[in-house]
Amino acid sequence: MIDPVIFQSLQAKIDQESAVRDELNEIVQSLARKVSPLLETATENLTSQRSDLHRLRDVASSHPFYLYNHTWSRDVQDLVFATLFCAWLGGLKEFRDEGKQGFMSVDEVGAFLGVPINIKETDTFHLTIEEYLFALISLVDELSRLAVNSVTQGDFSRPLQISKFISEIHAGFQLLNLKNGALRQRSDGVKYAVKRVEGVVYDLSLRGLIKKE
């Protein structure tokens, strides 16, 4: 005969896990309430940085672009990455077409920052496709870290959202014929980020914490 105490013990564990989930959900909801003002602050900071970028644009456009491009390229990449990350998290809504959220194309980034894209006809300041792609790779790297941190914070749905997004980015990179050595090398890391996040999602699905589609 099965001892009923076994089931009582199981119920106690279920109740304990339920209490933990409730506590985690409360923390996540608290974090969610704080995301909005954080995004507002990020949007304000990005907006203020545009004036510096415009000053750089005005000065740099008086000189040969590729002679001095290395001077600012990394900083421009960082600014583009911050813009992409903020938009993906739900920021910059007032600067985008109604209903658009998440991924920003290179044209959208250029429009927000107020700089031309990939100019070939004249030797003037512009955002290059390579700078945008480097920033996009940085976004994938950051989102793969966010997927892991989200689980720690009890947000089990975000890794699935991230997995779908970066898988699409990876598929897009597969279509590119990249000849730039550094860019090609960095882009190879995208597939490893995808695998890391897929591992997180798989673990969550095994534990019954999400329903994998």
Has domain 128-212 been given CATH number 1.20.58.200?
Answer: yes
Cα(19)–Cα(156) distance, integer angstroms: 16
| pLDDT tens for each residue of the chain, 213 residues long | 566 666 666 677 666 666 655 655 554 455 444 445 677 888 888 888 888 888 888 888 888 888 888 888 899 999 999 999 999 998 888 888 877 778 999 999 999 999 999 988 888 899 999 999 999 999 999 999 999 999 988 889 999 999 999 999 999 999 998 886 899 999 999 999 999 999 999 999 988 887 755
pTM for this entry: 0.80
Element (H, E) at 4: helix 4-60
- Domain spans, the chain: 36-126, 128-212
